[in-house]
Amino acid sequence: MRVKKSAVLLLCAALLPLSGCSRAEAALPYAHEIEDTVLMGALGVDLKEGAPGRVAVTVSSGGRSGAGDSPGQSPVVLSAQAETVSAACAEMQTFGSDFVFFGDVEHVLVGEEQALTGVMSLLGHMARDPELRLEARLWVIKDGRAGDILFDAASDGGAPDRLTALETDAELAASPAPRTAREVLSDLLDNGCALLPALERRPARTGDGAEGEYTVAGAGYAILRNGALAGWTGEEGALGADLLTGDAPGRILEFAAPSLAQTALRLTEVKTELTPSFTDGVLAGLAVTCRIEAQVAELRGADGLSEEGRIWLEERLAQTGEAAIHTALDLAQTLDADYLHLGRKAALAAPWRKAELETQWKAGFAALPISLTVTGQVARM
């Protein structure tokens, strides 16, 4: 009797899809053939030209090289415009017979005009969308549109590969440090400010490896305030930001002196400490202490490094670091944007002042006296 009951129930379950209950079928797993699916690796968002309030979304897949009898596939770049990113992505599904899959998007590019209006809505969409992921790297395009970058890169193997290379280059400190959308969203929700790596479109030149007319390269960082683009760090400010955030190890700095050979130093370690000072419970200042350690990467024109040369290099290293950090801090105070989240770091250094910092930091940051001490050390050849 029990077996009959179970069999009846199983039979009913098996017949359920035939009941015309389409929503029940919608809950069943579904699949797309990989050959009929285009995996998009990069997504770009710009403001539609001439139509404020509308967005232009451009997506690009990576190229697939052929193997055996299977032919390769060139990168596919699609673009659509709508009031929202969701609507634009949905419209792209109608472009051709293949299924466009956005779950593989590793890089999201935001054009400068779009960044000026704000990135919070895009990040909110990425947080809610089941395909897009907050683990994707977020980039801002300086003086340009994200769509242009993606279309240019189509002739160069596809934007996803190039962007992944830039992300890897950051370890060699040749590019700005990548940041995930999640990190940026967390920073923006914390105090409305964030640091985003910037890219720019440059004409290709012989020997840079680019196959097309243009290439994309790192361009420092973009500073966001209240969720929107407020300024750029430039190269010196980018170095200062990296020193303060600890992303500088691996960078190459070049120095030359009349008595010394051309020297390239590779940064190996950076330690930064923040110490807030208070007077009668009122935030009075911030002391920033930075110790930069480097090794000699290359010495041109000399057989070895003398003691005088080492001391000179250490002084120049400290001066360079100090100038860079000054630039980064001045930018933050001028824009009144604590994009380096120094307030959080100061609270970590002085937890007994947490309550005072929470109430006084935001209002007092722009005019806060900041003292800076940078020391350099050339630790080894």
Residues near another protein (CB under 8 A): 23-24, 26-27, 30, 127, 130-131, 133-135, 182, 185-187, 189-190, 341, 344-345, 347-348, 351-352, 354-355
Q: Are 248 and 242 in contact (CB under 8 A)?
A: yes
Q: Are 120 and 184 in contact (CB under 8 A)?
A: no
**What is the dihedral angle through the alpha carbons of 97, 103, 104, 107, rounded to the nearest 10 degrees?**
110
Output 131 or 211, the one with its CB closest to another protein.
131
Output 3 or 30, the one with its CB closest to another protein.
30
Output 131 or 213, the one with its CB closest to another protein.
131
Please, what's the b/e burial string for 166-176 (b: 16 or more CB within 10 A of its CB; e: otherwise)?
bbebbeebebb
Length of the chain: 381
Tokens at 63, concatenated: 């190229």
For 39, other C-beta atoms within 10 Å of its C-beta total: 17
- Quote the CA–CA distance of 50 and 76 in Å, as a whole number: 26
Nearest by Cα to 40 from 138, 164, 159, 163: 159
- Quote the CA–CA distance of 238 and 197 in Å, as a whole number: 9
Which amino acid is it at 150? L
Output 61 or 164, the one with its CB closest to another protein.
164
In whole angstroms, the minimum distance from the beta carbon of 349 to another protein comes to 9
Output 244 or 378, the one with its CB closest to another protein.
244
Q: How many helices (H) and strands (E) does the chain have?
A: 12, 13
Q: Are 79 and 147 in contact (CB under 8 A)?
A: yes
Output 37 or 155, the one with its CB closest to another protein.
37
Output 228 or 305, the one with its CB closest to another protein.
228
